Amino acid sequence: MDPTTSLSEPSETRAVLERLRSDAPVRIDAAESVAELDAVANEVTGKASPIAAGRRSLGKVAPEERRDLGRAINDVAQELDAIIAARREILESAEASAALAGDRVDVTLPGRVPRRGTTHIVNQVMDEIVDIFVSMGYTVATGPEAETDYYNFTALNFAPSHPSRFESDTLYLDYGDVPEDVLLRTHTSPMQARYMEEHEPPVYLVVPGRVFRRDQLDATHSPVFHQIEGLAVDTDITFGDLKGVLSHFAREFLGPNTKTKFIPHYFPFTEPSAEMHVYTNGRWMELLGCGMVNPAVFEYAGYDPDKVTGFAFGVGADRLAMVRHGITEIRHLLDPDQRILEQYR
């Protein structure tokens, strides 16, 4: 059939359109894939379709009929386009679902884990302790690990005869001209004098760091461990402040219901001196040593003990890490076994 000749009559064109209108929807809905639909669409509305032929024939149609016929053609075209679009939507959606249904894997195979390391638990604990004191208005400083006898002992009011000075207790370095003048600091307390020499009061300071003792590494001893020293000096610091601040620290670190008690102790650089014990895991445990700064220490550091008072404390970070995480032996903390380190989450 030659469309250009056979559709020259408007009545014939209308008849063809009517047929198309009744046949095409069935064919469109019969299309089972987007590709099939494209083919059908081409046949019913494409360049070779009766609709296209009808439009081409309009020029030969009498002017008084042309307008009605044109509208009729467009109506059919629009109607079929809508049916095709609806069918397309259905088919596309089905095909996308089918494609996704095939794109399926075993999601329980181990995923690609971005590698992540760990901060050593002792540093985590030290950071945590530092943060508690920073939140109470303390600043942070650190000092040398190889220290002079003066700052480690003398300026802290250790008598020349104090047993800590014995070579059995303290590690000395072969450095400089004076024997036994340079040592590995036995506590972080030397920063008390160093800091006070450099700063005017008031002082609210914590000093985290590594300290040393002449001990063989075993379950309960280590030649290397870690401490946080604290120092508060002002015009009116009292033993009550010491108790309040350190009890607050214990509650922040161990939990809001942590009970504390203070019992007298001895440190050359504090007077009165105390140990703070905390009730944790069903028993009392010594948590830290503390006391009011000994006036002699103020004198060494150049502060007037009649004008200022202060308290100082020292807390062992290693033991706190052990207590909190059930680490039974201190040597585990020095062990670089990655299976241990990976637990320091």
Partner 1 sequence: MKFTLEWMREFVDLPTNDPDEITEVLESLGHEVEGWEPITHRFDGVVIGKVLEVGSHPNADKVRVTKVDVGDEVLDIVCGAWNFEAGAVVPVAKPGAVLQGDFEITQRTIRGVTSNGMICSESELEVGEDAAGIMVLDDDYPGAEEELGSDFSSLLPAGDVVFDVSITPNRPDCMSVYGLARELAAYYELPLAEPNLELPPTDTATKVEIVDDVACPRFVGREVRGIKVGQSPHRIRARLTAAGVRPISNVVDASNYAMIEFGHPTHAFDADRLGDTVVVRHATEGERITTLDELDRALDITDIVVADAERPVAIAGVMGGADTEVRDETANVFIEAAYWNPPSVLMTSKRFNLRSEASARFERGMDSEFCRLAADRVAQLLVETAGGVVAGVVDEYPARPPERIIELPGSEVERVLGISIDPQTTASLLGRFGFDVSGDDPLLVAVPTRRPDVIRAADLIEEVARLYGYDNIPGRLRFGDGQGLPVRQQRLRRLRSVMVGAGYHEIMSFSFIGAEDLDALLLPVDDAARTGIPVVNPLRDEEGVMRTTLIPGLLKAASANLAKRVDDVRLFDLGKVFLPGDGVLPDQPERLGFVAAGGPSQRWDAGAAGYDVYDATGLWAVIAESMEIDGAELRAVDRAPFHPGRAAEVILRDEVIGTVGELHPAVATHHGIEGRAIIGEIEVERLIGEREAWRFNAPSAYPPQVFDLAFEVDSSVAASVLLDAIDAAGSGLVEERRIFDVYEGEPIPAGRKSIAISLSVRAPDRTLSDEDVAPIRKQIVDSVVTATGGTLRGAV
**Interface with partner 1, residue 34, by CB under 8 A:** no
CA distance 258 to 251: 5
Is the Cβ of residue 120 or residue 324 nearer to partner 1 in the bound state? 120
**Looking at residue 180, what DSSP letter applies?**
T
Smallest separation (angstroms) from partner 1 to the CB of 292: 6
Contact with partner 1 (CB under 8 A) among 125, 129, 147, 314: 147
Phi/psi at 292 (nearest 5 deg)?
-80, 135
CA distance 12 to 14: 5
* Amino acid symbol at 42: N
Contact with partner 1 (CB under 8 A) among 172, 252, 323, 331: 172
- By CB under 8 A, the residues from 52 to 91 that bind partner 1 are none
* Amino acid symbol at 84: I
- By CB under 8 A, the residues from 174 to 233 that bind partner 1 are 174-176, 179-182, 184, 202, 204, 210, 212, 214-216, 223-224, 232
Count of Cβ atoms closer than 10 Å to residue 306 Cβ: 8
**Interface with partner 1, residue 241, by CB under 8 A:** yes
Smallest separation (angstroms) from partner 1 to the CB of 305: 8
CA distance 260 to 164: 28
Count Cα atoms within 13 angstroms, Cβ side, for 318: 21
- By CB under 8 A, the residues from 112 to 131 that bind partner 1 are 112, 114-120, 122-123, 127, 130-131
What string of DSSP letters covers 202-232? Answer: PEEEEEEEEEE-S---SSS--SEEEEEEEEE
Is the Cβ of residue 48 or residue 150 nearer to partner 1 in the bound state? 150
- By CB under 8 A, the residues from 259 to 318 that bind partner 1 are 261-266, 268, 271-275, 292, 294-296, 309
Is the Cβ of residue 76 or residue 292 nearer to partner 1 in the bound state? 292
> 15: part of which helix (H) or strand (E)?
helix 10-30
Is the Cβ of residue 72 or residue 334 nearer to partner 1 in the bound state? 334
